[in-house]
Amino acid sequence: GGEAGRRHLVVLPLSAYGHTIPALLLADRLLNLGYEITYICPEYRMKQLLQQSKARGCSQEIRFKTLKRTNPVAGKSELSVHDTIQILASVILDYHENSKELKEIMEELFICGGTPPSCIICDAVVSLWAQDVANEFKIPWILFFASPALALTLIPGMENSGLSLVHPDENCVPRDDLGSDAFEFFLESCLKIHDAVGVMCNTMVELEADACKALEENRLINPNNVPFAAIGPLLPRSCLEESESDQTFEENEAFEGAEKKDACLKWLDQQTEASVVYISLGSLGEASAEQVKEFAFGLEASRKGFLWVLPGDGVESLPDGFLETATGIAVNNRGFVLRTWAPQLQVLKHRATGGFLTHCGWNSTLESMSHGVPMITMPFFTEQGGNAKMIVEYFKIGVRLPKDESGVITRHTIEVAVREVIENDAMRKRAAELKQVVRATAKAPPLKTKAFLEQILNKY
C-alpha cells in the first residue's frame, strides 16, 4: 500500500527507437503523477536517449541507470538496416545475459536509502528477464506494450484462438533475421505476458475498441484475466497543441546535427500549406536500390513537394541530377533529401506538410494522426501491416502502395499515391477530425494510468 507519491517504479524498455521513446513518455507521465522513476537502458544509448527526452520535453527528474554493454556496431556513423537488426538482436540477448547487472542495479536501488522500487514496468520483449528479476526481489511486474492492442491479440500463443481481429499474415510477423537465439528469446518473452500483474498498452479505445475489449474480456486471448488498460496515446506535449510557434530553440538544439535539420525546416518554411509529402521509413525500414530509384522517378513525376529521409548509402541510388546541392535540395527546389535522423515531430507539425509516406511504425502512426496528416502506407514487418490496414481501411486517412508482381512499388504507383494524399480533401478532412479525437483523448489517460496502477499495486 502507501501513497502514490511514495512509490518508486522501475521502467525497463527494449532499447530500440520505437520502444525507448514511448517508454520515456510513460516515465515522464508517471513522474508527473507523483511517482519516483528509474529508467534502465544500455549505456551506449544514453546520449540519444537524453536528446530524445529533451526534444519531447520530458522531465529532467527521470533517474537513468545504465547497463554497461558495448555497442555492437560502435564507430559506424551510418547504420545499414542490417546493422540495426544486429543491434536489436544483440540488445535482446544482452538483456538475457545481463540479469546479473540488472540485479545489481536493483539491489542498489533497494539499499540506497530512497524509496525501494515497488514494481518493474517492462517492455514485452524483455518480460522474461524482468520477471526473473522481479521474482528475486519479490515485487510485481507490469507489461508496457508499446505497440497497438491489435498486435497484442496476435502475440504467439494467442493467434490460434481463432479470435484474432486481423489475419496473422498482416500483423505481428517478427523479423526472422534476428537470428534464432534472439528469436526464441523474443517468443518466450512474449508468452510471459500472461504472467504479468497488469498490461498497459499505448493505444486508445477510440482507435481500437474491438481489440481493447477482447483483451479485457476474452479469456482465450487473456486466459489469466490480467487487468488491461489502454493508456495511450503517449505523445509529447508538442503533438497535442495547436500553434507552430511553440517549437522552441531548445527542441531544435536537441537534435544531432542541428544545422542540417534546420536546413530542412527552413526549406519547409518556404513551401505552401499542405503541399509537401514527408517520407520516412523509420529506424528499421529498408528500400532496395531499385526501389529508391522508383521513388525518385515517382516523386519527380508527381509534381508535388517532398521531404525525403534517406539515410545510409541510399542517396547513391538516386538518378543522376536528382540531387542538386550537397545541402539536400532536389528537383528544382521541389524536394529536399535529408540524410540523417529527421526532426519528425516538427516536420509533422509544420503547416507545409500535407502527407506522410510511412512504414506505419506505431509511434509514427500516432504522431501523424495527432497532427492530422494523411498517410501513404508502406509497412515492412511486425504489426505495421495491421497498422496500415487501420489507417487505410478503418479510418480512411491513407492510401496503400501496392507492389507489382516482382515485389517492386513502381514509379507510377508512387506518383499516383503522392498526388492522392495531397489532393484528396475528403481524406484530409477525416484526418483533421481524427486529430481532434486523438488530442482530446490524450489529455485524459494520465488519471486512468494512475487509477489502474494504484488498483494493482495496492494489492502488493
Interface residues with ligand UDP (CB under 6 A) are 17-18, 21, 280, 282-284, 309, 341-342, 344-345, 361-364, 367
All cell numbers assigned to 300: 519527380
Burial class of 191 by CB neighbour count within 10 A (0 to 12, 13 to 18, 19+):
middle
Cβ proximity of 148 and 210 under 8 Å? no
Which alpha helices (DSSP H) does 254-288 contain, by range?
258-269
For the CB of residue 413, give the shortest distance to ligand UDP in the complex, in Å. 22
For the CB of residue 251, give the shortest distance to ligand UDP in the complex, in Å. 11
- Dist. CA 133–CA 180, nearest whole Å: 24
Which lies closer to ligand UDP via its Cβ, residue 51 or residue 410? 51
For the CB of residue 17, give the shortest distance to ligand UDP in the complex, in Å. 5
All cell numbers assigned to 108: 542498489
For the CB of residue 353, give the shortest distance to ligand UDP in the complex, in Å. 13
Dihedral sign computed on CA atoms, order 239, 373, 250, 69: positive
Which lies closer to ligand UDP via its Cβ, residue 222 or residue 283? 283
Which lies closer to ligand UDP via its Cβ, residue 361 or residue 372? 361
At residue 83, what are phi and psi to the nearest 5 degrees? -60, -45
- Dist. CA 165–CA 171, nearest whole Å: 10
For the CB of residue 139, give the shortest distance to ligand UDP in the complex, in Å. 29
Residue 438's CB is within 10 A of a number of other CB atoms, namely: 24
DSSP per-residue letters across 186-244: HHHHHHGGGGSS-EEES--TTT-HHHHHHHHH-TTTSTT---EEE------GGGT---S
For the CB of residue 51, give the shortest distance to ligand UDP in the complex, in Å. 10
Which lies closer to ligand UDP via its Cβ, residue 102 or residue 378? 378
- Dist. CA 59–CA 43, nearest whole Å: 20
State the residue number with the nearest CB to ligand UDP: 18
- Dist. CA 449–CA 392, nearest whole Å: 29
- Dist. CA 62–CA 12, nearest whole Å: 13
Which lies closer to ligand UDP via its Cβ, residue 88 or residue 215? 88
Which lies closer to ligand UDP via its Cβ, residue 118 or residue 358? 358
Which lies closer to ligand UDP via its Cβ, residue 328 or residue 361? 361
Which lies closer to ligand UDP via its Cβ, residue 379 or residue 445? 379
For the CB of residue 209, give the shortest distance to ligand UDP in the complex, in Å. 22
For the CB of residue 445, give the shortest distance to ligand UDP in the complex, in Å. 18
Number of residues assigned to the chain: 460
